[in-house]
Structure 1
Amino acid sequence: MNMHVAMVPARLRVAVIGAGMAGLSCADRLACAGHCVALFDKGRGAGGRMSTRRMQTALGDVEFDHGAQYFTVRDPAFMAQVARWSARGVAAPWPVAGTGAWVGVPRMSAVVRDMAEQHDVTFGWHVSGLVRRDGAWFVSGECAGGGREQRGPFDAVVVSLPPEQAAAIVALHDLSLASTALAARSQPCWTAMFAFTEKLATARDCVRETGVINWAARNSAKPGRRGPETWVVQAKPDWSAAHIEMAAGDVAARMLGELGKALGVELPEPTVAAAHRWRYAMSSGSDLGALWSETSRIGICGDWLLGPRVENAWVSGKALASMMLETVEAAVA
């Protein structure tokens, strides 16, 4: 699609598709610079792969961090951000996962929800495409009630989604960005969730790379958690890929057996046994950081542009915002 570079306004109106860590990080930086940001997410709340699943059971409400299990800190700027989360009580260290491991408190999604509270976010809104009209962008999608809408106008669009989904959104408008996204590949992950009436007979709070288990954790042992004994079990990527269309109930049964074998204990019948399929869980990453086109005024950010870590998603969002701000500064200079 041919486009000309229009005059860049000093105050951008930006649509961000995806209210996960990368999208919110980008929104933070843009809003701090005085730009107007609106975020859209198909979920019921902020989280992305840092989401927390809540279920009503006979034991009461139970919660599972069924996406990212913890995050680590290397980048100095991200370290400062984590310190702010810690001061506000929404993040705490979790030494069980290793030196320097952190989790959201009282659930993994707490940190992204804390970020989202500072922004205009429309949840339950599934973006299906972009429309270019009168030199501006409009976001097309389906709201929670099933109706189709368009929101806009916007001067720029940020897509903070897994590469496969990002490519589908931008393909009609920026082939170069879409091609880069298509070159990346996400690995799937089956995640099983279990709740028990009593604590399992093991002192271990986590399991790494045992059998078909990539990671398993006693979710209820994380800082700030309440409620009954809960476990999250994540299958290895190759097993998940080979069984991607397996029924969720069958996956849960298999992972329960694998957990018992890994812990070396006979497990009681769980009160809750469920499984969630993450089709786009992890990417091997690249050194691109973020993608931005001055011509189309579309940007893409996400951990897949750096590596499969929560910190990388945050860094990617900041990197994209910096690219966009350079465009504005150059235009008004």
Structure 2
Amino acid sequence: MTQGIAIIGAGMAGLSCATRLTAAGRDVRLYDKGRRPSGRMASRPVEVDGYRFVFDYGAQYMTVRDPGFADAVQAWARGGIVAPWPAAGDDAWVGTPGMDAPLAAMAAPLDVRWSCHVRGIRRDTDGWHVAHDAGEDGPFAEIVVALPAEQVGPLVAGIDDTLAALADAHRSAPCWTVMLGFDRPLALPPLIERDGIIDSAACNAAKPGRSPGEAWTIHATPEWSAAHLEAERDTVIDLLRDALAQRVALPRPVHAAAHRWRYARSVPAGIGSYRLPALALSACGDWLIAPRVESAWLSGQHAATAILGDSG
């Protein structure tokens, strides 16, 4: 596979890049430590005491503004895997039946190695090699790093210190997320944003294509999350539940869980993607543009365009 391209990371940016490269006839292999497509568009089904809840516990929706991304979203809509969500705005869309649905559809035709933790990359005279838990693959003609900024630096340090420094300067803010399931509807709007320590609180059942269980996802603000980064999960659940209870009296939740996103809201570098042609090394991700799903997709497209432009 000496002419192939390896992509480290199969989130929205990596899958977008791979889709574009594959359409141009390139052989692409992706590596991701996750068990399935999700990343920061993750969804989680839960069944407890006869109740079924589905939580979007990453991004609650995606905005659609760029014409190219709008075309991709319209194609997903025709396939029944996204739908508009007017409660979040005229340009807001959600995956159906979960936010991860577009990622699953993008990954399906691609060569993705799931549950594969990449330990290192190296470039020899014959090309790039990827070391992972099961061994080593290569050589590859090109490599693309499609990871959060915090994970980019350690992977490329000593190979491309410029990219490592760029990633280190644009680290993501953390986010504590609490998932609450109730046995009855709450008298609240389906989406609450920027209210005290709550960055957003969304009723997943209010989104199109969702199961009816009263599932609420609460994201804390970046500042609060950073200040409570090492707090116990039960403490975080109590504090964010109390913050939501300031809006309305809450019944006792049937289900309560917390998830800590160490790398949640990116601090954008303001460029489409990164490329060092001399090493055939690229990087893409929302941290290079802006902290949005659309930005991750655009960065992947930008990286693919640069690779195809250099290689002809």
Name the residue aligned to 1:141: 132
Residue from 45, 48, 53 that aligns with 1:57: 48
CA distance in 1, matches of 2:49, 2:19: 40
Name the residue aligned to 1:249: 234
| Structure 2: tracts of 5 or more residues without a match | none
Report the Cα offset of residue 328 of structure 1. Answer: 0.6
Report the Cα offset of residue 127 of structure 1. Answer: 1.2
Partner SS state of residue 295, structure 1:
helix
CA distance in 2, matches of 1:12, 1:311: 29
Over the residues paired in the alignment, what is the CA RMSD in angstroms? 1.5
Contact 2:54 2:213 in 1 (8 A): no
Contact 1:207 1:217 in 2 (8 A): yes
Which letter maps to 2:279? S
Report the Cα offset of residue 149 of structure 1. Answer: 1.9
Deviations 1:212-252 (A, max 9, x none): 00100111111100141100000000000011111112111
1:110-149 aligned at under 5 Å gives the runs 110-142=101-133, 148-149=134-135
Name the residue aligned to 1:266: 249
Residue from 206, 214, 231 that aligns with 1:229: 214
Which letter maps to 1:195? G
Name the residue aligned to 1:18: 9
Report the Cα offset of residue 320 of structure 1. Answer: 0.4
Contact 2:126 2:139 in 1 (8 A): no
Partner SS state of residue 36, structure 2:
coil
CA distance in 1, matches of 2:307, 2:287: 19
* TM-score where L is the length of structure 2: 0.96
Matched, 1:42 2:33: yes
Name the residue aligned to 2:136: 150
CA distance in 1, matches of 2:44, 2:3: 35
1:85-100 aligned at under 5 Å gives the runs 85-100=76-91
Matched, 1:326 2:279: no
Name the residue aligned to 2:92: 101
Report the Cα offset of residue 61 of structure 1. Answer: 4.3
CA distance in 1, matches of 2:3, 2:87: 44
Partner SS state of residue 278, structure 2:
coil
Contact 2:192 2:200 in 1 (8 A): yes
Contact 1:59 1:228 in 2 (8 A): no
Task: State percent identity of aligned pairs.
Answer: 45
Matched, 1:177 2:160: no
Instruction: Label 1:269 to 1:178 Cα distance change in 2 as closer, same or farther (>3 A).
Output: same
CA distance in 2, matches of 1:197, 1:150: 49
Residue from 181, 186, 208 that aligns with 2:172: 186
Contact 1:157 1:298 in 2 (8 A): yes
Structure 1 moving runs of 4+ over 4 Å: none
CA distance in 2, matches of 1:56, 1:172: 47
Number of aligned positions between the proteins: 312
Report the Cα offset of residue 57 of structure 1. Answer: 2.0
Matched, 1:277 2:260: yes
